[in-house]
Every structure is written in structure tokens, then in C-alpha cells.
Amino acid sequence: MLLEDDVNLLKTIPLFSKIEPNKLKLIAFTGERLIFKKGDVIFNKGEEGQTIMIILEGEANVLLPTQKHVEPIAIVKKGEIIGEIATLCNIPRTMTLIARTDSIFLSLTKELFLKLIREIPDLAVQIIHDLAKRLANTIEQFEAKIALHGDNNVS
């Protein structure tokens, strides 16, 4: 994939849609491309979060390891962002991410991501919106699981 292809993909992501093309080029250029094979662990729950990941190609499984088993949470696909919670909040990764298919990710360092937020206030607002939406979806899924299994079987 070429730099221009990466820029065009970034334009389609709501989080980056309002960023000027020259800044998108900088993001695509300074981000690190990471290639994963199907089944590769991208990161584990509990690891330090120093990067956010943008899926350029492929899909990944979001898993929540518990004491009893590994709970599948979601599938993230091309154009989606993952890892921003741990990176922004200075907390360990809250979940495990495993490549569902052969995949290519763009990894942005915490420093670059924070610089973008400072320079583009609309980006911070969009991040808050996206995180709130994700939290609402997680709560909805949890409530559905409780309704289906009862609260004694949810771990």
C-alpha cells in the first residue's frame, strides 16, 4: 500500500476526517506499519499502552481474558482504531487483540497522537464521542448477556 492509499483510508475514518491532507500525510508517514499473520497476538490485556492502532487491512478479534475463560468482545475491521483507551488514560491494555486475518496496522505513538489532539481540538471531541459510543455499546452487550444468562453466569 502506498502513502497516498494510507492517506485516503485515514480520510474515511471519522476520527481523522477533519484533518488537513498534509497532516494526514504526516500521520501516515510517521506512523509505523505493522504486519500480522492470522492468529498473531497484536497486544495482550495488561500490557502497557503506548500506541494506538489503525487497521489498514484485515480484521482482528477483541478478546477479554477472564479468570475462567476468554470472552470474545468484538471484531474490528479496516479503518477502525483500537488501543486509544490505554494510550490516552495511561492504563494497561483493557483487552487482548488477535489478528483474525492477515492484517496491516498503522501504529501511532502516544506522543504523536497527543500532539494531534493539541493541534486539532475537534479531534479530542471526536475521540470523546467515539469512546462514549463504544461504552454505550459495551453496556448494551453486557445487559443483553445478563438477560440471556442471568447475572450469576456473567464473568
Gyration radius of the chain's alpha carbons: 16
Instruction: Give the span between the Cα atoms of 149 and 68, in whole angstroms.
Output: 16
User: Could you tell me the strand order of the sheet in which 32-36 lies?
Assistant: 32-36, 103-109, 51-57, 81-82
Specify the pLDDT at position 108.
92
> What is the dotted CATH code of the domain comprising 3-149?
2.60.120.10
pTM: 0.78
Residues 113-141: tens digit of each pLDDT: 888 888 877 778 878 887 788 788 778 87
* Residue 81 contacts residue 54 (beta carbons within 8 Å): yes
Residues 36-68: tens digit of each pLDDT: 999 999 999 999 988 999 998 999 999 988 778
